[in-house]
């Protein structure tokens, strides 16, 4: 096959394949992560203690699970603001069922069903009614929190005697590693596989890259969109179960601001808010960066208020970088 210089636009990255480019981006993020680790070790030798590392890992897992769902949604050029509220509703519902003596497998299934229902609700709004995802899920966010408060009457719900039996999911260990980390690893593996190696994953990228072209290419766009909101809802309620298990209480306020955490993680992980670009590996690194950053600021004894300022600045930097890169590409 002949390739002439003329066929490659000057200054473009035509010579580098997509895979190589995303790999290079991943490496950039990995560098940030390594530097953060170095800083953490330098600042405080206690960073490397097993207890601290596992803490950071658990943190990564908890925010990471929701962020994986958010990654799917953002890849289709959408957004899901309702994840935190879904966590709230699921938390109080699960806690009340457990306290009432419902068996654990049924509680788990029912809790996951709540997430799926919320996902379908969001999906119907976006797909059938054609509402902008931002507005649709904003409505769900507000309503969901209200539902959680109403169900729980504004009070935290104790698990009662069921707490011990349910402890394993969020507080247990397997081979010396907290169970939530195992769950996170499994979810990341599945999500990576789905996005990379299945027809559905390909269609998620297609819808996000160019929705109209996807429709004209015969892709069932409504089904793809519906699926990503269901995935996001499902992973939100899974997160809620871990919360409830670990804290032994279902709080109606659980998951407040979780949507902001998840969006930050996804964006820092290099998934484009313009859709069709990015993936779950970046999201894992994004979650690790956010957790490490918080850990370092804690180790430094910086007040939570100041931490918020730093975190906001990081998000702006990440998004700003992304927007600039996008503009250059056009």
Partner 1 sequence: MTKALFSLQRENDFSKQTAAPALVLEMRRIHKRFPGVNALKDVSFTVSHGGVHGVIGENGAGKSTLMRVLSGAYIADEGEVVVDGKVVPSPTPDAMLRLGIAVIYQELAQAPHLTVAENIFLGRLTKTKLGTVDWPGVREGAREVLGRLGFDVSPEARIDQISVAQRQMVEIAKAIARDARIIVLDEPSAVLGDSELAHLFNIIRRLSREHGVSFIYITHRLKELFEICDDVTVMRDGEVVASTPIDSTNTGELIRHMVGRELKDVFPKRVEPRSEIRLRVSNLTRDGILDNISFDVRRGEILGVCGLAGSGRTEVLRAIAGADRIDAGSVEVDGKAVSIDTPQKGLAVGIGLLPEDRKTEGLFLDQSVGFNITVSKLGLVSWRGLIRPSSENSVVSRFIRQMRIKTPAAGTKVRTLSGGNQQKCGIARQLHAGNEILLVDEPTRGVDVAAKREIYDLLVELTATRGSSVVMVSSELPEILGLCHRILVMRQGCVAAILEGPGATEEQIMSHAVWH
Distance CA 314, CA 263 (A): 13
Residue 212 sits in the site that holds partner 1 (CB under 8 A) = yes
* Count of residues in contact with partner 1, rule CB under 8 A: 37
Taking the complex as a whole, the smallest distance from the CB of residue 87 to partner 1 amounts, in Å, to: 30
Binders of partner 1 in range 271-330 (CB under 8 A): 276-277, 329
Q: Which of 44, 55, 158, 210 binds partner 1 (CB under 8 A)?
A: 210
Taking the complex as a whole, the smallest distance from the CB of residue 220 to partner 1 amounts, in Å, to: 6
Taking the complex as a whole, the smallest distance from the CB of residue 327 to partner 1 amounts, in Å, to: 13
Taking the complex as a whole, the smallest distance from the CB of residue 75 to partner 1 amounts, in Å, to: 12
Binders of partner 1 in range 41-60 (CB under 8 A): none
Query: Residues 160, 98: contact at Cβ < 8 Å?
Result: yes
CA distances from 257 to 84, 87, 106, 144 (A): 6, 11, 28, 13
Residue 197 sits in the site that holds partner 1 (CB under 8 A) = yes
Binders of partner 1 in range 65-124 (CB under 8 A): none
Tokens of 260: 């902001």
Tokens of 97: 């069922």
Taking the complex as a whole, the smallest distance from the CB of residue 198 to partner 1 amounts, in Å, to: 5
Per-residue contact string for residues 14-33; x = within reach of partner 1 by CB under 8 A? xx-xxxx-------------
Please, which residue, 195 or 281, has the CB nearer to partner 1?
A: 195
Q: Which helix (H) or strand (E) holds 249?
A: strand 249-250
**Sign, CA torsion 128/129/131/136:** negative
Please, which residue, 59 or 203, has the CB nearer to partner 1?
A: 203
Residue 5 sits in the site that holds partner 1 (CB under 8 A) = no
Taking the complex as a whole, the smallest distance from the CB of residue 218 to partner 1 amounts, in Å, to: 4
| Residues 6+ away with beta carbon under 8 Å from 191 | 68, 71, 72, 280
Distance CA 281, CA 119 (A): 23
Taking the complex as a whole, the smallest distance from the CB of residue 45 to partner 1 amounts, in Å, to: 45
Residue 209 sits in the site that holds partner 1 (CB under 8 A) = yes
Distance CA 255, CA 266 (A): 17
Query: Residues 89, 114: contact at Cβ < 8 Å?
Result: yes
Residues facing 173 on adjacent strands: 178
What is the residue-wise DSSP string for 152-195? Answer: HTTS-EE-GGGGTTTHHHHH-EETTEEHHHHHHHHHHHHHHHHH
Stretch that binds partner 1, among 1-9, 42-50, 71-79, 249-257 (CB under 8 A): 1-9
Binding-site ranges for partner 1 (CB under 8 A):
1-4, 7-9, 12-15, 17-20, 197-200, 202-203, 205-206, 209-210, 212-220, 276-277, 329
């Amino acid at each position: 096959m002949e390739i002439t210089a003329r066929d490659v636009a000057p200054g473009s990255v035509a010579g580098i394949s997509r895979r190589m480019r995303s790999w290079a981006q991943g490496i950039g993020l990995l560098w940030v992560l390594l530097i953060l680790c170095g800083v953490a070790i330098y600042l405080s030798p206690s960073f490397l203690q097993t207890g601290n590392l596992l803490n950071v890992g658990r943190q990564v897992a908890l925010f990471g699970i929701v962020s994986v769902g958010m990654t799917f949604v953002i890849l289709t050029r959408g957004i899901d603001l309702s994840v935190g509220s879904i966590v709230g509703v699921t938390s109080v519902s699960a806690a009340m069922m457990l306290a009432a003596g419902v068996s654990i497998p049924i509680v788990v299934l029912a809790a996951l069903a709540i997430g799926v229902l919320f996902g379908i609700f969001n999906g119907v709004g976006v797909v059938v009614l054609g509402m902008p995802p931002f507005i649709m899920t904003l409505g769900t966010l507000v309503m969901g929190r209200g539902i959680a408060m109403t169900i729980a009457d504004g009070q935290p719900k104790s698990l009662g005697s069921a707490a011990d039996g349910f402890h394993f999911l969020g507080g247990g260990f397997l081979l010396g590693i907290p169970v939530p980390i195992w769950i996170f690893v499994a979810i990341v593996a599945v999500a990576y596989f789905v996005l990379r190696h299945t027809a559905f994953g390909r269609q998620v990228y297609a819808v996000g890259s160019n929705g109209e072209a996807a429709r004209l290419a015969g892709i069932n766009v409504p089904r793809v969109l519906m699926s990503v909101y269901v995935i996001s809802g499902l992973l939100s309620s899974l997160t809620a179960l871990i919360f409830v298990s670990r804290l032994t209480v279902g709080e109606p306020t659980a998951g407040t601001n979780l949507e902001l955490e998840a969006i930050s993680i996804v964006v820092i992980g290099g998934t484009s808010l313009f859709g069709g670009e990015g993936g779950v590996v970046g999201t894992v690194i994004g979650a690790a960066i956010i957790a490490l950053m918080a850990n370092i600021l804690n180790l430094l004894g910086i007040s939570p208020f100041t931490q918020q300022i730093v975190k906001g600045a990081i998000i702006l930097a990440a998004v700003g970088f992304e927007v600039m890169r996008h503009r250059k590409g056009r």
